[in-house]
Amino acid sequence: MRTLRSLERSYKNRSEVVSSAQQAYVAAYITKMKRIRLIQILILVVFIGLWEGSTRLGIVDSFVFSSPSRVVHCIITMIADGSLFMHIGITLLETFVSFGLVILIGLLIAILLWWNDSVSKVLEPYLVILNSLPKSALAPVFIVWLGNNMKTIIIAAISVAVFGTIITLYTDFKEVEEDKIKLIRTLGGSKKDVLFRVVIPSNLASIISVMKVNIGLSLVGVIIGEFLAAKAGLGYLIIYGSQVFKLDYVIMSITILCIVAAMLYKVLGYYEKKYTS
């Protein structure tokens, strides 16, 4: 909305120089964008209103479906006793740790594969299989091996994202123009120079886009991990809430997850714009 407002303002300031047809075009565009935003907000309001209304009227059972007011009440109670921030904090911490490790491990292995063609040929079938395997199948194994703790959750989250990361980065690294590599070599550069002066800088955009995908995947992995092996976190709240029939917990956690995921995505989108334009 802010960009729309600044567009409006900039046009008001220089209205003398633009033609009336252009003004009409911009005005029509602004009206259309405003209408879209209005409808977006309306959908949310109507949805929440219907949900609240139907539970109040007894059309649906608020014990099973929860309700917006119960969720808000639940949030307030949990903020008051401090437990909400603890759960969010733990989920975020696990997400960031696994995200960081996925990027680090993914980059290092992709570089290794790019560096050594034989290694990449040897590992290729294993990577393909591990990437297509549903990683949630591995989570119970991690519990047995690593115990019922945060280590298991982080490893589970890494396993969700890391193989795709390696494959994507390696493919992008391989696509660097052959002549750019030749250029570095004609300037007397080694393979290390090719890596640091051409391969990595030319793939900065692709690395950031991989990060954008991975922040979401890490969150998925963390929630799967918390379902199975946790004493805290939003995933734990969801499982706990469904088991003791406190659906307020479940709905609240899902709502918070939506907000957290959107915010993480926005942050990376900001960095993407900053570093690739």
Partner 1 sequence: MRELLKIDNLSYSYHTLAGETTALSDVTFSVSEGEFVAIVGPSGCGKSTLLSLIAGLISPSRGEIYINGNDARTSGKNIGYMLQKDHLLEWRSTLKNLTLGLEIQHKLTEESYVIINKMLDTYGLITFRDSKPSQLSGGMRQRAALIRTLLLEPDILLLDEPFSALDYQTRLEVSDDIWGIIRKEKKTAVLITHDIAEAVSMADRIIILTDRPATVKSIIDVNLTVEGERTPFAARSAVEFKDYFNLIWKELNQHEDITKLRA
* Residue 212 interacts with partner 1 (CB under 8 A): yes or no: no
**Cβ contact 159:135 at 8 Å:** yes
- CB nearer partner 1, residue 197 or residue 246: 197
The window from 51-59, 155-163, 174-182, 213-221 that contacts partner 1 (CB under 8 A) reads 174-182
Looking at residue 169, what DSSP letter applies?
H
The burial of 40, by beta-carbon neighbours within 10 Å (0-12 exposed, 13-18 middle, 19 or more buried), is given as: exposed
**Binding of partner 1 at residue 209 (CB under 8 A)?**
no
Q: Is 273 in the site for partner 1 (CB under 8 A)?
A: no
Alpha-carbon distance 176 to 149, whole Å? 42
Residue of 255, 259, 251 whose CA lies nearest to 55: 251
Do the Cβ atoms of 90 and 233 come closer than 8 Å?
yes
From the list 125-133, 154-162, 179-187, 235-243, the region that binds partner 1 by CB under 8 A is 179-187
Give the one residue of 3, 58, 134, 179 binding partner 1; rule: CB under 8 A: 179
Residue from the set 101, 183, 232, 260 that interacts with partner 1 by CB under 8 A: 183
The DSSP letter of residue 199 is I
Which has the closest alpha carbon to 160: 216, 97, 100?
216
Q: How far apart are CA 268 and CA 40, in angstroms?
A: 23
Give the per-residue contact string, 189-208, with partner 1 (x = CB under 8 A; - = no).
x---x---xx--xx-x----
Cβ proximity to partner 1, 19 vs 186, nearer residue: 186
In the complex with partner 1, which residue's Cβ is closer, 141 or 205? 205
Q: Are 163 and 103 in contact (CB under 8 A)?
A: no
Q: How many distinct helices (H) and strands (E) make up the chain?
A: 14, 0
Question: Can residue 185 be called a binding residue for partner 1 (CB under 8 A)?
Answer: yes
Amino acid at 162: V
- Contact with partner 1 (CB under 8 A): which of 184, 210, 211, 234? 184
Nearer to partner 1, 138 or 183 (CB): 183
Find the part of the chain contacting partner 1 (CB under 8 A) among 2-10, 45-53, 111-119, 181-189.
181-189
191, 115 in Cβ contact below 8 A?
yes
Note whether 274 binds partner 1 by CB under 8 A.
Answer: no
**Positions in the binding site for partner 1 (CB under 8 A):** 177, 179-180, 182-189, 193, 197-198, 201-202, 204
